[in-house]
Amino acid sequence: MSGKFTDPAAIERASMEIIRAELAGRGVALPPENEAVILRAIHATADFDFAENLVFTPGAVQKAVAALKAGADIVTDTNMARAGVSKAALGKLGGGVYCYMADEAVAARARAEGVTRAAVSMNLAAREHPAALYAVGNAPTALLALCELLDRGLRPALVIGAPVGFVNVVESKEKILAACEKYAVPAIVARGRKGGSTVAAAICNALIYTAAGTLDPGDR
């Protein structure tokens, strides 16, 4: 095996070059302002559908990057997504990443009210981190809870809507996108059934690296 393919930075650069070449071969030209996010979603999944599935409200990336530079936190709907976010890079910007799914109080309230922990965790997060970036990669009910919170005045720095699956997934994504557009909240949404915690974390990392000026892995 060539030495350059045992170095993580070299592997990532080569992967991005392959992705760009394949996109060019398909006749796909990515909008420059959204390119880093789309490339990292494809890099995390090897799924080129994200070049078409990811939709952005106007200026979503720029606004999210500005918030991260100002020290914004990130809230995720799963500990898997939280684990995938680069906490070291985010910490250098002054932010942290939080997930309340395993909180005992969240579980107790969810049982008492007959709702999902994801929905309760979003309500708790809205009180603790109202200006955070919200990254949802698993639970449609988290997105639906965010829709209600937006109606009540929550204005996060960004909503990432990327749950994966078959039940309420497509509908919840369309609802959060419409709600974000209504209230001028920046959003990045993976339309359709595809997504996942890996995608949510990848989008977060693309934004973090952009904010930190470390899109090239050699700069991290």
Encode the chain (220 residues) as per-residue pLDDT tens digits: 445 578 899 999 999 999 999 999 999 999 999 999 999 999 999 999 999 999 999 999 999 999 999 999 999 999 999 999 999 999 999 999 999 999 999 999 999 999 999 999 999 999 999 999 999 999 999 999 999 999 999 999 999 999 999 999 999 999 999 999 999 999 999 999 999 999 999 999 999 999 999 999 999 8
Cα of 44 vs its chain's centroid, Å: 12
Residues taking part in catalysis: 43
Q: What is the CATH number of the domain that holds 20?
A: 3.40.50.10230
If 0-12 CB within 10 Å is exposed, 13-18 middle and 19+ buried, where does residue 186 land? buried
| pTM greater than the 0.85 cutoff | yes
Domain count, the chain: 1
Nearest to 190 by CA among 138, 144, 151, 147: 138
Q: What angle do CA 67, 50, 10 make, to 5 degrees?
A: 75
Range of the domain at 162: 3-219
pLDDT (tens digit per residue) in 61-78: 999 999 999 999 999 999
* pLDDT the model gives residue 3: 52
